[in-house]
Structures are given as structure tokens and as C-alpha cells.
Structure 1
């Protein structure tokens, strides 16, 4: 919650001043603004009780495994319209753009994430359309590939996301999910197509790599 009398900082200016730029563990081709112990992230995040947690300030395994997968297999995205759902820092969107996607859109419910995505895209020399929105109940986007990193950490969110992914697949949109097999990943509805060892921010203080998977929905062509 915002402290009384404190002005809201400009997100982009705050990120540039307080979140240093560093290579992503396991993805050295990409650099991001990443929060550290001295970032004072509370000054930007959680200004109101309803504000989303600042997941965008750290790279997570689900995004990292998708980014690694796309960079290693650029034919997956070459020339295609790609949307990164729950994009956070923009890691997966940036990887898609660097791998040769035609148009890349990054969507997150947090406006601070969108500010970070803009800065991170510029650092990496790619163009990304970033939007602050919840699109899960909206009409389906006009895209070829939907990428989803680490959105299965909450049971209610997992149900909403899967319903959206099923709608996308039924309309002909390919879906790829990156996840280190968190508790609410519906593995009985998914097919694992790749696995990579990547560093996960939530994996403890050791900084070691964890196995994370890239999944498609059953029935994806």
C-alpha cells in the first residue's frame, strides 16, 4: 500500500533508475531490467491493495524455458504473429522478436510491466507492441502463436487461462506453454515437447538451474 504523502513514481523512470540491466540467467542473449535487494520495489509496486504483485521484475522459469526454446528454434516463430500472455518483463516476447517473429504483442494486467517491457525491448533492439489488459474474456486476437510462461501458480487463474487457451486452439491459434511444472499446471491436458534447464527466481537462494518444460495442448497441430 502506498505510504501517505508519497507521490506515485513514474514507472519507466523508476525502473531505469533502480532496476539494473543484466543478462538473464540461462538466456545470455537477452538483457533485462531486474530488481535486486536495493531496488526499493515497494515504492513502485503495491501502491494499492488491488495492485498485482511485481512478478514482472524478475525472470521466472516458465518464461526462461520458452525464451530458450524460441531462440534455439527460430523456425517456430519466423514471420508469425505472436502474442505473449502475462508477459511480465517481456522476456518471451523479446525472444520471439529476436528469433524473427513478424509482429510481437506482449500483454500483462500490470501497467508497470508494460513500462518494463518497453524499456527491455529497447535494450534488446526489438519492436514489441505492449498492452496493459486482461484479454482472457475478450474476443480472440488475430495471431498465429500464443506463448504463455508461468501462469499456472494460482488455481483460479489456471482455470481461466486454460479456458482461453482452448478457445485459441479451437480457432487455429497454436499455443505453447512454458512451466517448471508448478502445482496448477494441468499436465493431463498437455503434451511436453521440450525440456531445458533454466534458472528460476522462485527456486531458492542457490541460483541453480531447474528443469522446465515447453508444452503444447493436446490437439495442437
Structure 2
């Protein structure tokens, strides 16, 4: 059985790493929300690998507001009825930006899911910074259907073929059981647009080191029922 005190210490260490390696500030395009964000991609990446004692780790997605998540957060804040009084799941939560937006807009509960324990720590730190309650879990839930969430929110999950092939069936199962599914996407290659209806589009400021541009046209989509 895992040592519970060790798990608590690990969680505290992760949260401390997030706070020490980032700076808290308002999110561009979503200034109602503050996140702990990194200023230098490579510096944080190297620090993360040093802390983990590993090389070749994926980018620290949790340390930056990615375009898809920013668009979904903006949409939720502008349309709070999307989540108000409803159980919400933020899939591949990253920084927890979307989860925080849902909580601010009156969701009855918000569950943020990500497989990266640093993302879970970042989500908890960012929820506290914004004075909202978010449950955050490090789990792979993609074989399920997101129950009992009434709304499933996902920002920027169609960037890679293999993962898109897992995300889409999960989202379709959630939609089939009656959940509303809202996705943000800045034109990634693997979004099956024919399955979705556009509900909003924004020019979202992005981190140039990550996207090779300063702005991304980002669409918010609703998954259509079958």
C-alpha cells in the first residue's frame, strides 16, 4: 500500500515546484483568471527534467495557457449558462484554466483530469489562486464516458494522431449518454470537423516559442449527437 504521508509530501513538493518556477498573473484574453505561468519554455523544461531525473520528457503543458483552453475558458465566461449548476469535467486539464472558468461560472462541481501529476498540482494551485473549488485527479479516463459529468470541456486535444484516436471515442461516448461536449481547437490537424458545430471563434494570443506565431484563430466547437 502506498505511504500516505509520502504521497502528501509529493503533492506538496509538486505544488512548490509549480509556484517556484512560474509567475502568477492574468491570462491574456481571459484576464478574469490568474494562472501561475512560466516565462521561459526551455528553462522550465530543463528544470523539470532535472527534478524528475529524466530526459526526453514532454513539454510542461501545464505552465502555459494553450489556445484551445483559452478559447473554451473565454466561451464559458461569456456563456456561463453552459456550465452553471451542472457537473463539469475538464479533460486534459493542463493548467486547470478551463476548470477554473467553469467553477467561476457556477458549475455545481468541477473535476479536472490529466495524466501529468504536475498538471494536477498546477490545477490545484491555480484553483486556490482564483478562490474556487476544483477536484483534480491524475488518471487516464479515456476508456470511459466521463460519467457523471453533464458537461465535458476539452481544450486543444486533437494535436496528435494517436491521442486524437483516443480522445474522440471518449467524447462521443460522453455525448451519447447525454453530456454536452465543448472543445477548443486552433486548427490542429486531427480534429474531425464534420462531427462538430462551431459556436464561437477568437483570435487568441499565444506563446510564440510554442506556436511560432503571436495569434491563433481558435474555434470553439460543440460535438454533434449521432
- TM-score past 0.5 threshold: yes
Is 2:134 aligned against 1:131? no
Q: TM-score, normalised by structure 2?
A: 0.87
Which of 117, 121, 131 matches 1:115?
121
Residues 139 and 146 of structure 1, relative CA distance in 2, 3 Å threshold: closer
Gaps of 5+ in 1: 1-7
What is aligned with 1:191? 197
Structure with more of its chain in helix, by fraction:
2
What is the distance in 2 between the residues matched to 1:140 and 1:192?
A: 22
Conserved? CA contact 1:35–1:41, under 8 Å:
no
SS state at 2:126 partner: helix
SS state at 1:44 partner: helix
Is 2:71 aligned against 1:71? no
What is the distance in 1 between the residues matched to 2:83 and 2:205?
A: 23
Residues 50 and 171 of structure 1, relative CA distance in 2, 3 Å threshold: farther
What is the distance in 1 between the residues matched to 2:173 and 2:85?
A: 23
What is aligned with 1:203? 211
SS state at 1:42 partner: helix
Q: What's the offset of the Cα at 1:73?
A: 0.7
Conserved? CA contact 2:146–2:152, under 8 Å:
no
What is aligned with 2:184? 178
Q: 1:202-221 counterparts in 2 under 5 A?
A: 202-204=210-212, 207=214, 209-219=215-225
Q: 1:34-53 counterparts in 2 under 5 A?
A: 34-37=37-40, 40-45=44-49, 47-48=53-54, 51-53=57-59
What is the distance in 2 between the residues matched to 1:49 and 1:172?
A: 42
Residues 47 and 193 of structure 1, relative CA distance in 2, 3 Å threshold: farther
Conserved? CA contact 1:145–1:174, under 8 Å:
yes
What is aligned with 1:5? none
Q: What's the offset of the Cα at 1:52?
A: 4.2
What is aligned with 2:32? 29
SS state at 2:188 partner: coil
Which of 18, 21, 34 matches 1:18?
21
- For residues 147-194 of structure 1, what are the alpha-carbon distances to aligned partners after superposition, in whole Å with 9 as ceiling and x for unaligned? 010011100100110010111111111100011111111112111111
Choose 152-161 or 130-139, whichever is displaced more. Answer: 130-139
Q: What's the offset of the Cα at 1:204?
A: 2.4
What is the distance in 1 between the residues matched to 2:151 and 2:56?
A: 31
SS state at 2:217 partner: strand
Q: What's the offset of the Cα at 1:89?
A: 0.0
Q: TM-score, normalised by structure 1?
A: 0.89
